[in-house]
Amino acid sequence: MPLGIARPTVASLIDLAGKKAPPPPRQGLAAQPFTQYTVAKVAAATEAARLGVRDAFKQIWRTVCDGREASVASRARLRSAAVHAVEASIEAVQMCYRAAGGTALFVDRPFERALRDVHAMGGHIVCQRAMMEDAGRAQMGLPTLLPMF
């Protein structure tokens, strides 16, 4: 879900950058290095996060389809990939929001809502720091603390 919020937010920034032209002598939004960096950075970060989640999920899916139980290590990998995807999505939306400037505040633009929604997802228990900490505990051979792990 958070990656599904980040992707159209990046597309909205690209669309806005092609249209938004500040008063002279400033350059348009698309010509600004910060906007260019933001688009490249958030696209790479969200794509990497998406691939990480998919790969970890495929590994667990193959295991379960073979009639075996998913190991703690594979569950830890999926949990950490999922939390990372949420964190990458939050960073992506925040960067797009900042690059959009004052336009991000307008109701007819998706930036404000995307920022709120992606942060709401980050507040869910399975997306919080404690889940990543438990994934780290599992990866180090320690028992997990969260009952839902």
Domain ranges of the chain: 2-19+30-139
The angle at the Cα of 115, spanning 58 to 23, to the nearest 5 degrees, equals: 125
At residue 113, the pLDDT reads 95
Q: What's the pTM?
A: 0.89
Measured between alpha carbons, how far is 57 from 146 in angstroms, rounded to an integer?
Answer: 20
At residue 73, the pLDDT reads 93
Superfamily (CATH H level) for 2-19+30-139: Butyryl-CoA Dehydrogenase, subunit A, domain 3 (1.20.140.10)
> Which tokens is 31 given?
């010509």
> Which tokens is 90 given?
């939050």
At residue 27, the pLDDT reads 81
pLDDT in single tens digits along all 149 residues of the chain: 999 999 999 999 999 999 987 767 678 899 999 999 999 999 999 999 999 999 999 999 999 999 999 999 999 999 999 999 999 999 999 999 999 999 999 988 999 999 999 999 999 988 888 999 999 999 999 999 988 87
